[in-house]
Amino acid sequence: RNNNADFATMMIAHHVGAVEMSELLLKKGKDPILKSFAEEVIAAQNTEIEQMKNFQNTREISTDYEKFQQALNQSMAAMMDKNIKVHDDIDKDYAQQMIPHHKSAVEMAEVYLKFGKQPELLKLSKSIVTEQNKEIAELEMWLQKN
């Protein structure tokens, strides 16, 4: 019942998903731009996972835990979009699926920015919002060209 622990645990699981998607792309993808993008995702998110592990066992009870939990769960909605196009092309599918995956990470980080108080996690959340919004734009441009 601690906002820091819950945010860290959820975001770690989310990051692990992005890392696994990216590792798959490195194995099977063909596009060099996307491969380099995937390498950056792996490096950045593995670093952030290590940072967040420090907060997974925070114990004190957060007073606004229920509201935080509700907002955090809503942030996952972007990823659950059943209308994501499937191209049967690993490169295009990676780009198409990574966009909503990143969007939900941005929303999770925005929830933490609204409720959170831990300085390191606030800084990390701001960075996630900035970096992943930039990456969403890169993926959208890549999809337009391909």
User: For residue range 95-135, what is the model confidence (pLDDT) as tens digits?
Assistant: 999 999 999 999 999 999 999 999 999 999 999 999 999 99
Contact 90/38 with Cβ under 8 angstroms? no
Q: Please give the structure tokens belonging to residue 12.
A: 């770690």
**Span 127-145, mean pLDDT?**
97
Residue 118 has a pLDDT of: 94
Which pLDDT tens digit goes with each residue over 32-74? 999 999 999 999 999 999 999 999 888 888 889 889 988 888 8
H-state helical runs in the chain:
3-28, 32-53, 65-74, 90-115, 119-145
What is the b/e burial string over 34-71, where b = at least 16 CB atoms within 10 angstroms of the residue's CB? Answer: bbebbeebbebbeebbebbeebeebeeebeeeeebbeb
Q: Is the pLDDT of residue 79 over 70?
A: no
**Span 18-28, mean pLDDT?**
95
Q: Within 10 Å of residue 127's Cβ, how many Cβ atoms?
A: 14
Residue 82 has a pLDDT of: 65
Residue 85 has a pLDDT of: 72
For 129, half-sphere exposure in the C-beta direction (CA atoms, 13 angstrom radius) is 15
Domains and CATH numbers, the chain: 3-145 (1.20.1260.10)
Q: Assign 123 to helix, strand or coil.
A: helix
Residue 88 has a pLDDT of: 82
